[in-house]
Amino acid sequence: METETLLLNMGPVHPSTHGVLRFKLRMDGEIIRDCQIVVGYLHRGTEKFGEMKTYLQFIPYTDRLDYIAAMPNNYAYVKAVEELAGIEVPLRAEYIRVLVMELNRIINHLVMMGSLLLDLGGSTMIMYGFRERETALQMYEMLCGARMTFNYVKPGGVREDLPEGFMPKLNEFIKDMEKRIVDYEELVNGNEIFLMRTKNIGVISAEEAINYGMTGPSMRGSGVDYDIRKVEPYSIYSDLDFKACMCREGDSYARYLVRVDEMRESLHILRQIADTIPEGKTVNQRYGMAPNTGAPSSVMSYFPRIFTPAEGEVYSRIEAPKGELGFFVASDGTTKPYRVKIRSPSFCNLVALPKMVLGLKIPDLIAAFGTIDIVLGDVDR
């Protein structure tokens, strides 16, 4: 029976949209017939800032893109600049970079699990997730003084060496997390309500996921065996032992499972780094001076404020917790980038959402949306 459709507005201020995102839904009774996404409420013109700031000054702006996991943003931009300018990085600095990025991946997935469960009506997981996140944030605070906006990775190395007492704390964190992931799985994975809300909800096939530009864990939930850390290894990932986690089903539950597995793999990487991290310099001497660790006043190493990479263009990408994070940087031989373009995973993953939720109900939209895992700072830039 044909009934009149109803236009329903959801957002921009809504607890389940994780920020300022707006859905325009055309409803036939309870069934979603059309879904339009309106973004841009948090647009700050980060790419324009990139053209107005020097290469080094732009790094803090990248922290504000995906503020849940800011370290990969730092690194992705710095990697593009390093490729453009041909800067080499000491081995210890690479180890520290991977360490902080994998720690951030765990934080990201904890927040994702917590907020997903909260959206679906279970309030326990977010307490646990934020408890573990707090430990990790304190480690970041030890490392660079900031909890969420780090400005830590710099061209040619990292800003500071690991402080005293960091490694014991890391080892403790790894040991705790191993036990706690098991707890989470017992709490969530077999929960009947959770299974009913997520299984066969928001299904997307592998071909469609690729065509719609999905990347990262959301795509691996559809059975595409693809991880940039594996396919185009950057930094020290080629020396580390880990696997790209994957599920075949392509539904919300599969996307959730991939993330739980990824946390385990990240812990495995962290353990390897804790065991094998070499001694040495944390910054390329040619591009900066290492901090004089003897004196109490020298908390910062000094990087050259001014960079002039040769004319050229580069597109460089990494596997951020949410998917493929790419930076296109064009240089015209001056101290400022000519053009910075950010390919953010959240933005591109959202394109597939309307396709996934057609014919479902609004609570299913919440489940599918929660497992895509976006941050609005990353969508709107």
| Token pair 């597995």: residue | 261
- Listed ranges 98-106, 164-172, 178-186, 322-330: which one lies at the site for another protein (CB under 8 A): 322-330
Q: Does 49 bind another protein (CB under 8 A)?
A: no
Give whole-number Cα distances, 303 to 43, 82, 99, 148, 326, in Å: 30, 14, 22, 22, 24
Task: Write phi, then psi, for 196 (nearest 5 degrees).
Answer: -65, -30
Least separation, in Å, of the C-beta of 77 and another protein? 14
- Listed ranges 42-50, 147-155, 171-179, 247-255: which one lies at the site for another protein (CB under 8 A): 42-50
Q: Does 313 bind another protein (CB under 8 A)?
A: yes
| Token pair 């080629």: residue | 238
Beta bridge partners of 180: none
Q: Does 178 bind another protein (CB under 8 A)?
A: no
Name which position in 138, 315, 333, 359 contacts another protein (CB under 8 A): 315
Name which position in 53, 169, 180, 341 contacts another protein (CB under 8 A): 341
Residue closer to another protein by CB (options 211, 293) is 211
Q: Does 184 bind another protein (CB under 8 A)?
A: no
Name which position in 34, 167, 328, 362 contacts another protein (CB under 8 A): 328
Which token pair is 128? Answer: 């646990």
Continuous segment of H or E residues that includes residue 248? none
Residue closer to another protein by CB (options 26, 339) is 339
Alpha helices in the chain (DSSP H): 46-52, 59-63, 71-85, 91-119, 124-144, 166-188, 192-198, 206-211, 216-220, 228-231, 252-276, 345-350, 353-357, 362-372, 376-380
Residue closer to another protein by CB (options 84, 103) is 84
Least separation, in Å, of the C-beta of 267 and another protein? 27
Continuous segment of H or E residues that includes residue 157? strand 157-158
Positions 197 through 236 that interact with another protein (CB under 8 A): 208, 210-213, 224, 226, 231-232
Distance between CA 250 and CA 352 in Å, rounded?
Answer: 12
Least separation, in Å, of the C-beta of 27 and another protein? 17
Q: Does 47 bind another protein (CB under 8 A)?
A: yes
Distance between CA 285 and CA 302 in Å, rounded?
Answer: 10
Residue closer to another protein by CB (options 177, 224) is 224
Q: Does 43 bind another protein (CB under 8 A)?
A: yes
* Residue 124 DSSP SS3: helix
Distance between CA 32 and CA 194 in Å, rounded?
Answer: 21
Distance between CA 116 and CA 162 in Å, rounded?
Answer: 33
- Listed ranges 256-264, 274-282, 307-315, 359-367: which one lies at the site for another protein (CB under 8 A): 307-315
List residues binding another protein (CB under 8 A): 9, 39-40, 43, 45, 47-48, 51, 83-84, 208, 210-213, 224, 226, 231-232, 312-317, 324, 326, 328, 330, 338-339, 341, 343, 347-348, 350-352, 380-381
